[in-house]
Structure formats: C-alpha cells, structure tokens
Amino acid sequence: MKKTISKLQGLRLISQIMFLFLMPELFTLIFNQLKKLYSMILKGNFDVISVWPQLLTMSTIFIITIIFGRFFCGWLCTFGAINDFIYIISKKVFKTKFKVDEKVDSILKYLKYVILLFIIVVIWTSGNTAFDSYSPWDAFAQVDNISGAIAEYTGGFILLAIIAIGAAFIERFFCRYLCPLGAVFTILSKARILKIKKLRDKCGPCRICTNNCSMGIKLYEMDKVNSGECINCFKCIAVCPRKNTKVNVLGEDVNPLLPSAIAIAAFTGVNALGGVMNDGMVNHSSNNTAASSSNVNKSEQKKYKDGTYTGVGKGKNPDLKVAVTIKDDKITNVEIVSNNETKGKEALSTIPNKIVDTQSTDVDVVSGATMTSKGIMEAVNDALSQAEIKDVNQKKYNDGIYTGIGQGKNPDLKVAVTVKDDKITNVEIVSNNETKGKEALEVIPKEIIEKQSTDVDAVSGATMTSKGIMMAVKDSLSQATKNN
C-alpha cells in the first residue's frame, strides 16, 4: 500500500510541475472563459452552437469537477501548485507550525465567495476598470518583467506578495480563502460521485488525516468527505496509519490512481482536440474570406471635418475631457479641458503631444500613469468619432488582407487581418514569440471581430500579449485605411 500511495503522490507532483510549465495560464484561461459566458448571458447574445469552442476548456473542467470533484485545484492549477511549493519550502526552511483556529478557518473560507461576488457585480457587470491594476494574475504573468510592470500593476504585486506570505504559513492559503474560481468549484463539486470514505468507528484518536488536510477540512467528524472544499490531493489517504481512508466511487472502493488518471486524460484529450478544431475553424474562415476579398477601393474624400471637437474619457477617475482640433485632415492640437486625476498627471502633458506627433491614438502609455494615459486616448477617440465624415458612399477600409506587427510579451507578434465590405472578417495570428499568456492568442482576435474594434478587454494574466495583438491589428487596419 505504501508503494501505491508513494506512486500516487509522486504522480500528483509530476502533474503539478507539468501543468505549471506547459499550461501556466490555465487558471486565467478558465476564469476568462467564465467571464465571457457571463457577459454573453448578461447581453442576451449567448449562442451555444457558435460559442462552445471558445468555452471548451472551462466546460471540460466544470464537467470533471461536477463528476469527480476538484481535480483541477489539486492536480492542474498553477496557483495551487505554487501555494504548495511555497508552503513546503517554508515548512522545511523555517520550520513553520502555524495553525489556524477551526472556527476562524471556517469563517475565512466564506471570503472567496465575497471576492467572487465583488468581481461579478462590480467589475464584470458594471465594466469597471478601476481595479485592473490590482489583478494578482496579471502581476504573476509579468514576474519575468517585474521592473517594467511593477508601476502598472503595483496593487497586483502587493496582493501577490500577500498571497505568497500567507502561503508560507497556511497551506493552500489562496485556495482556502481568496480564490474566486475555487468558490465556483466548491459549489460545483457538491454533487460529485467520488467521495473519500473514512469510517469513524474504525479510526483511532490521532486526527492525523485532519492535521494533514491541505484545505483544513475537519475530517475527524466525517464518515464520508462531502465537503466542496476537498481538492482530491489524497494526502489523507497517504498518512492514515490504519489504512482506513479510501477513495469511493458510487459506493465502490477504487484505487485513487484510476479517477486521477481519468480526470487528467479527459482534460488533456478534450483540450488538445479543441485546439485542433479551433485551428481548423480559423484556417477555414481565413481561406473563405481570402477567396472573396476584392481589389482595393480607393477614394479621394477626407476622413475628418475641420474644426474643434470635445471628447470625454475615463482615466483614474471619470470625466476626463479633451478638445481636439482638426485641420486639413490632421490632428493639429489636443488640449486637456478638464480632469479629476489625482495621480499620473505627467500623462496629461505627454500623451497629447504623442498623439499629435504620431497622428494616432495608438501611443505608448506613460509608465505609472496607465489609466490616465488610456483615458486621454479614449477621450481623443471620442472626439475623432464626432469629426468623422459620415458619407455612406465612403468606405473606412479597403477590402483585402493586411499584415500587422505588434509587441506582446516579446516582439514580432504578427497578424493577418481580412477586411471585406468595410468589416473585419478575420484576424489570424501568423506568428508569435509569446511564452506566456497564450490564451490571448485565441480570445482577443475573436473579441476584435465580434466588436469590430481593437478596443477590447485584455485577457487577465495575459495583458501584454493582448495589447500586442491589438497593436498588430491596428497596424494592419492603418494599412487598410491608406489612400482612403
């Protein structure tokens, strides 16, 4: 039995390390797909047939969780693995023996539901961007570029530090108390068919299983573990001196290796199939659109009317107002009329000059003043939309396929944008050097086509890759507008 347990825990460790290096963005990908699902339901445009490939990863994990429980948390999740590794190292090095009172632990576990509710109501429903810089997932995605990202994600890095400190003293600190996705999984796993059976009449007074439970579940009170907090780490099986703790599926005791292997194989298999199908759909769409694209349609008409136009945007605070002057189809002046910014004021003088110099709102943000910078760009875009000549006979874009380049986490992120009848019909990632945040490569192009705009939400945890794609698409569209 010891050999089986040792093999089980060894395989779990291998699984955690493998997913940590091969799919570090998995947590973020699932959370963003959940956000997309909620957004579509909220807007009333949810279509199962057209959208299911975009939600395949989330759907697969949710189904596995409903049937077998939280294998994702115990075996696949990057954040969970890092929490485990921090705790193990801290325990070995600092000999930490900190224990949370059971009543306090039970109360704190409700905090993750509060966080989930806050994200849904305050951020997803209202579209509030004020908390973008506080995302610990975005901060984690930038750890290899911390010097360049710490100003933009100061709040996120602070939260990440708190999570790391908490993990050093409390096993699975983030998973127990803070994880919003964990709150969803706790609810979903309530009806699972896999249970951990532990008959109390065969137990001694040791409470070793409870003392070793990663999630602090009071196992000594249970004959079967029905708690949604259980992450199927199976440590309670490994430490039981009487071999009284067993995995039970539909009333039958089974080797814990079996459901573990099924859960991991099901996810990796379906996820790989989804990637192949998605690539096929993208290529099919690209080929069809390319075949139907026409020659460039040129026009001599002006894009903007001369005059001064007022636009409004939201920086760190709302009502950032600018006045944009247009002369001979050029931006000749951008003036900040009023603002409520308390920080990042250097952007108020820098960004307008950049926009005039480049004749574009696609300029670099001022480090440490990201939200103010974006607010100015938003306000200028608002003003330019008013200045646009609304001629039904004038097309904004020329039909064709245009290649653009942007910089994500790494340079040379190349896209091919297909335009037909003044609409973006396809965005294809031609090549990239991204090592992290790859979920954005799938999500952002679809969002751009859906909204017919590059002004889409960045994928949490893949912000730089998201912005790189938007930059590359803008570069493509700038070519499509030449000679218009």
Q: Is the dihedral of CA 254, 257, 260, 265 positive or negative?
A: negative
Distances (CA, A) of 460 to 76, 83, 147, 174: 19, 20, 19, 17
Q: Does position 149 have pLDDT exceeding 80, yes or no?
A: no
User: Residue 138's closest CA among 158, 111, 166, 114?
Assistant: 158
pLDDT in tens, 229-256: 999 999 999 888 888 999 999 889 999 8
Report the percent of the chain where pLDDT is more than 90. Answer: 36
With bands split at pLDDT 50, 70 and 90, how would you rate the model's confidence at 289?
very low
- The mean per-residue pLDDT over the stretch 400-420 comes to 88
Lowest mean pLDDT among 245-259, 267-281, 391-405: 267-281
Are 293-298+395-480 and 307-387 equal in CATH topology?
Answer: yes
Return the half-sphere exposure (C-beta side, CA atoms, 13 A cut-off) of residue 454.
Answer: 23
Q: Does position 297 have pLDDT exceeding 50, yes or no?
A: no
Token pair recorded at residue 3: 């050999």
Q: Does position 130 have pLDDT exceeding 50, yes or no?
A: yes
Token pair recorded at residue 407: 């910089």
Greater confidence, 410 or 418?
Answer: 418
pLDDT of 23 reads 82
Q: Any idea which fold 307-387 has?
A: Sufe protein. Chain: A (3.90.1010)
User: Residue 420's closest CA among 252, 267, 334, 291?
Assistant: 291
Domain range summary for the chain, segments of one domain joined by +: 2-271, 293-298+395-480, 307-387
Q: Taking all residues of the chain, what is their mean pLDDT, rounded to a whole number? A: 84
Q: Directed axis angle between helix 180-188 and helix 56-68, to 10°?
A: 50
Question: Between vectors from CA 245 to CA 27 and to CA 209, what angle results, nearest 5°?
Answer: 70
Alpha-carbon gap, residue 63 to 50, rounded angstroms: 20
Q: Does position 300 have pLDDT exceeding 60, yes or no?
A: no
Alpha-carbon gap, residue 272 to 194, rounded angstroms: 25
Rg from Cα positions in the chain: 26
Alpha-carbon gap, residue 119 to 185, rounded angstroms: 16
Distances (CA, A) of 46 to 12, 38, 195, 449: 37, 9, 34, 16
Q: Any idea which fold 293-298+395-480 has?
A: Sufe protein. Chain: A (3.90.1010)
Alpha-carbon gap, residue 391 to 372, rounded angstroms: 33
Alpha-carbon gap, residue 113 to 361, rounded angstroms: 39
Q: Does position 74 have pLDDT exceeding 50, yes or no?
A: yes
pLDDT of 324 reads 93
Question: Between vectors from CA 275 to CA 123 and to CA 43, what angle results, nearest 5°?
Answer: 30
CA 146 to chain centre: 18
Single pTM value for the model: 0.67
Alpha-carbon gap, residue 323 to 276, rounded angstroms: 49
- The mean per-residue pLDDT over the stretch 309-314 comes to 89
pLDDT of 291 reads 46
With bands split at pLDDT 50, 70 and 90, how would you rate the model's confidence at 401?
very high
